Each structure stands twice: as C-alpha cells, then as structure tokens.
Amino acid sequence: MAKSELLLEVRNLKTHFSPRKASYAVDGVDFTVERGKTLGVLGESGCGKSVTGFSILRLVQPPGRIVEGEILYHGLHIGGNGALDLARCSPTSSQMQSIRGGEIAMIFQEARTSLDPVYTVGSQLIEAIQYHQSLHQKQAKAWGVEMLRRVGLPDPEATFNKYPHQLSGGMCQRAMIAIALSCQPKLLIADEPTTALDVTTEAQVLRLIKDLQEELGMSLIFITHNLGVVAEMADEIVVMYLGKVVEQTDVKALFEDAKHPYTQALLRSVPQIGKKSSERLQTVSGSVPHSQNIPAGCPFHPRCPSRMPGLCDRKEPTLLPLSGNRQVRCFLHDEAALKGANVHDANT
Ligand code: SF4
C-alpha cells in the first residue's frame, strides 16, 4: 500500500494498567487505517477494543499507560516521514488537544453520559467548534445548526437550545455525532455507537455515519462486538482477543473463510439465512478471562474447540502472514510449530 493512502499506522501498541506481566489491556496490536476507508475492530467485551481507541486519542486514564509501540498519524503536513507519533505526545499537550476533536474524533455507546447534562446541545456544539476553528459566535451557531440538520435532527434550531434530557436516545446519539463531526475530522473512532439503540434507530444511525463518511471523505475505526454491524460498515477487520489481534483480513474473506477458531466461533453465534429455525445458535463457550488472569500459552486455548494439548497450553502463537493481506494468530496455520509439537508429544 502506498504511504499516501495511509492515515494511521498502529505498531506494536501496548497499553498496560499494572506492571504485572499478565495484566495487559492492549498487548502488541498492529493495524493500519487507509484514507476514506473503514477498519472494523471486532471482539467480545474485555478484549481491548475500546482501550485501543482511547490509546489512539491518548485518553487512557492512569494507572493505564502506553508502555510501548507507535501510533503514527499521517494526517498532518509535517516533515520527516510525514507522520506524528501520537504515542510520544503528552496527553495534555496543546498539540494533542488540537488533534483530539479537530483531526480525530470519537463517539461512544452512551451518548447521554458523553453529553454534559447542564449545557444545551448548542452550547456544547459551539464550544467544540470554537476550540478548533476561529469562528465568531454567530458563525459557530450557524455551523452548529447546520450540523444538527445534517445528522437528520428535526427542527435543528429548536434542538440547538435543548438539554440532553429533553432528547430521545436516538436524538442524543445524533447530537453527539454532530458535535464529533462539527470540525470535520479526518478520522472518526466509533466505539459501539449503536449498542444502546433499538434496531430501527440503529439502522438510521449507521446509514448516517456512512453518508457523512462519504461526504467528508473521512476514515473510520468502527469498534463493535456485532458481526452484522461490522459486515455492513467495514472494509477491513481486525479481530481482537485479550489485547491481541488474532485475525486480520478484508470483510469478504472473514465472512467466507474465517481462519481463527475464535472468529469461527463468533460467526457460528449469529443467525444465518438458510439455516433452519429449529437449529440452535451456538455460543462461544466460556467467557473472556480477566486481563489480570490471562491463561498461559494461547490465551484462547481454554475456550478453543481445536486446541492441541501440549502445544496450545504451553506456547503462545505469533501473528502469521497468510496469502494476500491476511494474518492469523493460531498454531493450526503454523507448520513449523505443528511439526515441533509432534516431536515433543512423541517424547512425552
Ligand atoms: Fe485454538 Fe491452539 Fe489456535 Fe489457540 S493456537 S486458537 S488454542 S488451535
């Protein structure tokens, strides 16, 4: 991929919340985001998806901190290789504050808790707009009302003067999107933005994000546990489990031929057209261990139907390149490890 197409490169990102070895929230994550494209980040709760998003914006609260890795942002016109390493920026620096909201914005699952209940939607919009753009109050208000109109809120002038508690959940979500996009960021990080919404409102909000992405030429990191949503939104997908990327591929390949047992288990847990209604949906057995209690060997081995005793519970697999841009972290695709395991098993 040409460097000019890249907007963000995350390399070996490690965000830890405790110095204890087995206490990683994010543990060596790599991915790239292309300009104008959507990267889906998929996994169950507790897999490090949100902490990855917070790390990019340097919003991880202490004791959490980035201990290693690079977050190379290519959206600014600066010297050298043209990238700014956000992992090296101070979270409180003026540079980071201007990137946050101006260049990269984030929207969350719970709009009501992200909006300030004591200020009107309009004053929160004006604050965001004037922080990043030199507009007078009147111009900022006009732009704020225009953003409320663009996100499809009825009577944007009236909504501008309302408090969050006067809006429905779907309207709050739209207002939060309007605030996030008011400065026309180059990258939007959407963290489960439709989880709290009913199905109809979810479809409307997803459509809205896609339309605005096209209109603004924005890149998107879409964090979700929902396979249906990721299928609709993403170009590329990384699947995360316990702080690591376990599979990375384009959306078509993931749904047609998932390689990692965790991805396969996630796919078996969603309804599929053509399956008999009498067939029970499968669940991923067990639950995600706490980040302070990560199993030795392959972190997925206690839940994996394909685990190989003597190998998967002893050694940790690395992320292996397959054909195309695919990568998978599993011994089933590692011929050298499988050979070594046979010799080892034969001797025990
Ligand atoms: Fe399952 Fe072993 Fe692959 Fe881990 S390495 S996903 S336990 S088969």
pLDDT tens digits for range 205-264: 899 899 989 988 999 999 999 999 999 999 999 999 999 999 999 999 999 999 999 999
Centroid of ligand 1 to alpha carbon of 314 (angstroms):
11
- Contact indicator for 187, 103 with CB cutoff of 8 Å: yes
Distances (CA, A) of 113 to 118, 164, 176, 248, 289: 12, 9, 10, 32, 27
CB 304 near ligand 1, within 6 Å: yes
Q: Is the dihedral of CA 193, 195, 199, 201 positive or negative?
A: negative
* Residue 127 backbone phi and psi in degrees, to 5: -60, -45
Owner of token pair 């889906």 = 40
CB 332 near ligand 1, within 6 Å: yes
Quick one: how many helices (H) and strands (E) in the chain?
12, 12
Q: Which residue among 294, 330, 334, 345 is best mutated to probe the pocket of ligand 1, counting the most ligand atoms within 8 A of its Cβ?
A: 330
The interaxial angle of helices 137-150 and 169-181, nearest 10 deg, is 130
| Token output for 183 | 């400065």
CB 312 near ligand 1, within 6 Å: yes
Half-sphere exposure in the Cβ direction for 268 (13 Å, CA): 13
| Token output for 245 | 């990327």
CB 259 near ligand 1, within 6 Å: no
Q: Which residue among 241, 266, 301 is best mutated to probe the pocket of ligand 1, counting the most ligand atoms within 8 A of its Cβ?
A: 301
pLDDT at 1 over 70: no
Centroid of ligand 1 to alpha carbon of 251 (angstroms):
22
CB 319 near ligand 1, within 6 Å: no
pLDDT per residue over 111-167, tens digit each? 888 899 999 999 999 999 999 888 999 999 999 999 999 898 999 999 999 999 999
Centroid of ligand 1 to alpha carbon of 309 (angstroms):
10
Centroid of ligand 1 to alpha carbon of 263 (angstroms):
11
Residue-averaged pLDDT of the chain: 89
Nearest protein Cα to ligand 1, atom 8: 307
3-state secondary structure of 193: coil
pLDDT at position 99: 93
DSSP states of 217-268 as a string?
T-EEEEEES-HHHHHHH-SEEEEEETTEEEEEEEHHHHHH---SHHHHHHHH
- Contact indicator for 258, 247 with CB cutoff of 8 Å: yes
Q: Which residue has the higher pLDDT, 167 or 77?
A: 167
Centroid of ligand 1 to alpha carbon of 68 (angstroms):
26
pLDDT at position 201: 82
pLDDT at position 346: 34
pLDDT per residue over 309-330, tens digit each? 999 999 999 999 998 889 999 9
Distance CA 120, CA 89 (A): 32
CB 300 near ligand 1, within 6 Å: yes
Centroid of ligand 1 to alpha carbon of 306 (angstroms):
6
pLDDT at position 292: 74
CB 306 near ligand 1, within 6 Å: yes
Atom of ligand 1 nearest to the CA of 308: 2
Q: Which residue among 304, 313, 315 is best mutated to probe the pocket of ligand 1, counting the most ligand atoms within 8 A of its Cβ?
A: 304
Q: Which residue has the higher pLDDT, 204 or 18?
A: 204
Atom of ligand 1 nearest to the CA of 313: 7
Q: Which residue has the higher pLDDT, 270 or 346?
A: 270
pLDDT per residue over 269-312, tens digit each? 876 656 566 666 667 778 888 877 788 999 999 999 999 999 99
Full-model pTM: 0.90
Question: How large is the average pLDDT for residues 188-214?
Answer: 88
